[in-house]
Amino acid sequence: MTLVAGVDSSTQSCKVVILDAESGTLVREGRASHPDGTEVHPDEWWRALSEAFDDAGGLADVSGLSVGGQQHGMVLLDRDGNVLRPALLWNDTRSAGSAEDLTAEIGAEDFARRTGLVPVASFTITKIRWIRDNEPENLAKVAAVALPHDWLTWRLRGYGPAGSSPMGPNLDELTTDRSDASGTGYWSPRTGHYDLDLFKLAFGQDAREASRDTPQAGEAKPAPGVVVLPRVLGPGETAGRVHPACFGGTGGSEASGGGILLGIGAGDNAAAALGLGAKPGDVVVSVGTSGTVFAVDSSPVHDASGTVAGFADASGEYLPIAVTLNAARVLSSVAAVLDVDFDELSRLALEAEPGAGGVVLVPYFEGERTPNLPHAKASFHGLSIASTTRPNIARAAIEGMLCGLAGGLDALRAQGVRAERLLMIGGAVQNPAVQRIAVQVFDLPVVVPSPGEYVARGAAVQAAWALAGFRPDWPVALDATPEPDFRASIGQNYRMVSARVDSDD
C-alpha 319 chain-centroid distance: 11
pTM of the model: 0.92
pLDDT value for 64: 98
pLDDT for 249 beyond 70: no
Give the pLDDT band (50/70/90) at residue 504: confident
3-state helix, strand, coil in the chain (%, to 5): 35, 25, 40
Q: Which of 261, 45, 69, 82 is nearest to 171 (CA)?
A: 82
Residue 267 predicted with pLDDT over 90: yes
Q: What is the pLDDT of residue 254?
A: 57
3-state secondary structure of 166: coil
Cβ-defined contacts of 120-123 (< 8 Å, 24+):
120/96, 120/306, 120/369, 121/92, 121/93, 121/94, 121/95, 121/96, 122/72, 122/90, 122/91, 123/72, 123/99, 123/183, 123/184, 123/185
Q: Which region among 217-231, 265-279, 394-408, 466-480 has the lowest average model confidence (pLDDT)?
A: 217-231
Q: Is the pLDDT of residue 480 over 60?
A: yes
- Asked whether 390 and 378 are in contact (CB, 8 A), the reply is no
- For residue 142, give every residue at least 6 positions away whose Cβ sits within 8 Å of its Cβ, in sequence order, or none: 76, 77, 78, 84, 131, 203, 205, 227
- The alpha helices in 339-450, defined as continuous H runs, are 342-351, 390-414, 432-441
Instruction: List pLDDT tens digits, range 140-183.
Output: 999 999 999 999 999 999 999 988 899 999 999 999 999 999 99
**The total number of residues written for the chain in this structure:** 505
Q: What is the pLDDT of residue 374?
A: 80
Which residues are designated catalytic? 268
The confidence score (pLDDT) of residue 163 equals: 85
pLDDT at 219: 47
> How many Å apart are CA 101 and CA 37, to the nearest integer?
25
Residue 113 CB neighbours (<10 A)? 15
Cα gap 252→48, rounded to integer Å: 19
- How remote is the C-alpha of 261 from its chain's centroid? 24
| pLDDT for residue 253 | 55
pLDDT, tens digit, for every residue of 354-391?
Answer: 999 999 999 999 888 888 888 889 999 999 999 999 99
228: which strand partners?
Answer: 144, 208
Share of the chain above pLDDT 90, in %: 89
Q: What is the rounded average pLDDT for all residues in the chain?
A: 94
pLDDT value for 500: 86
Q: Which residues of 330-362 are buried (b: 16+ CB within 10 A; e: fewer)?
A: bbebbbeebebebeebbebbeebeebbbbbbbb
CA dist 196 and 205 (Å) reads: 10
Confidence grade of residue 54 (pLDDT, cut at 50, 70, 90): very high
- Closest to 352 (Cα-Cα) out of 382, 405, 384, 396: 396
pLDDT tens digits along 431-457: 999 999 999 999 999 999 999 999 999
Query: pLDDT, tens digit, for every residue of 326-338?
Result: 999 999 999 999 9
505 vs 502: CA distance, rounded Å: 5
For each of the domains in the chain, give its residue range(s) and CATH number, in order of start.
Answer: 3-264 (3.30.420.40), 277-443+475-505 (3.30.420.40)
Write out pLDDT tens, residues 32-44: 999 999 999 999 9
Following CA atoms 382, 383, 388, 393 in sequence, which dihedral angle do they give, to the nearest 10 degrees? 50
Report the distance separating Cα 126 and Cα 185, nearest Å.
Answer: 8
Confidence of residue 223 (pLDDT cuts 50, 70, 90): low
- 351 pLDDT more than 80: yes
Q: Please tell me the predicted confidence (pLDDT) of residue 161.
A: 95
Distance, CA of 151 to CA of 173 (rounded, Å): 10
Q: Residue 319 has what pLDDT?
A: 98
